[in-house]
Amino acid sequence: MPRASGTTGAPSDQPQRFRRGDRLKKRYEFKQAQLSGRRIHTPHFLIVVQPNALQNTRLGITVTKKVGTAVQRNRIKRVVREVFRRNRQLFPPSHDLVFIAKRGATDIDYGSLLSEVQRAAKKLRPEARR
C-alpha cells in the first residue's frame, strides 16, 4: 500500500510533520528568543516571538516543574506541538516561537489551546513585523 505524502486532508496542502528543523533545540536559541523577542500573554502561556534567518518557523516549549507533574508537563508539550503542527498558518513565517507555560496550563486541551492561539495570532503577526 502506498504511503501518504504527509498531508491528512487538512486545510493547507503543506506537510504536517514536526521535524527536527522545526524545533528550537539549544539553550542559547531559547535564551536569545527570550531576551530579544516580543512577548504576547495568553491565559495559559507567554509566547515569545523573534524573527530568524531561516525559511521555516521553529517552536520551543518551556514547562517548569512549578506547572505540574512530569505527566502533566509532557501532556502540555504534546498539545502545544500538535496545535503548531496542524495550524502553521496561524504563526508568522521565518520566526522562532517560544511557548512558556503558566501555572494553570495543566487543564488545557487541544480545542482550548487552539482558540487561545487563534486569538493570539492577531497579535503575533503585527508583533512579528516590528
Q: Which domain holds residue 106?
A: 20-129
User: 13 or 16, which is more confident?
Assistant: 16
Structural domain contains residue 124? yes
Q: In 47-109, which ranges are continuous DSSP H helix?
A: 70-86
How does pLDDT run across 21-44, given as a tens digit for each residue?
788 989 988 898 889 989 999 999
Query: How many residues comprise the chain?
Result: 130
pTM of the model: 0.81
Residue 11 lies in a domain: no
What's the total number of domains in the chain?
Answer: 1
Q: Which residues pair with 45 in a beta bridge?
A: 101
Residue 2 has pLDDT above 60, yes or no: no
Quick check: is 1 in a domain? no
Helix (H, G, I), strand (E, B) or coil at 77: helix
Q: Which residue has the cell 514547562?
A: 63
CATH code where residue 65 lies: 3.30.230.10
Digit-coded pLDDT (tens) for 86-103 = 998 898 888 999 999 999
Please calculate the CA angle 5-18-26 and round it to the nearest 5 degrees.
150
Residues 58, 97: Cα–Cα separation, whole Å = 6
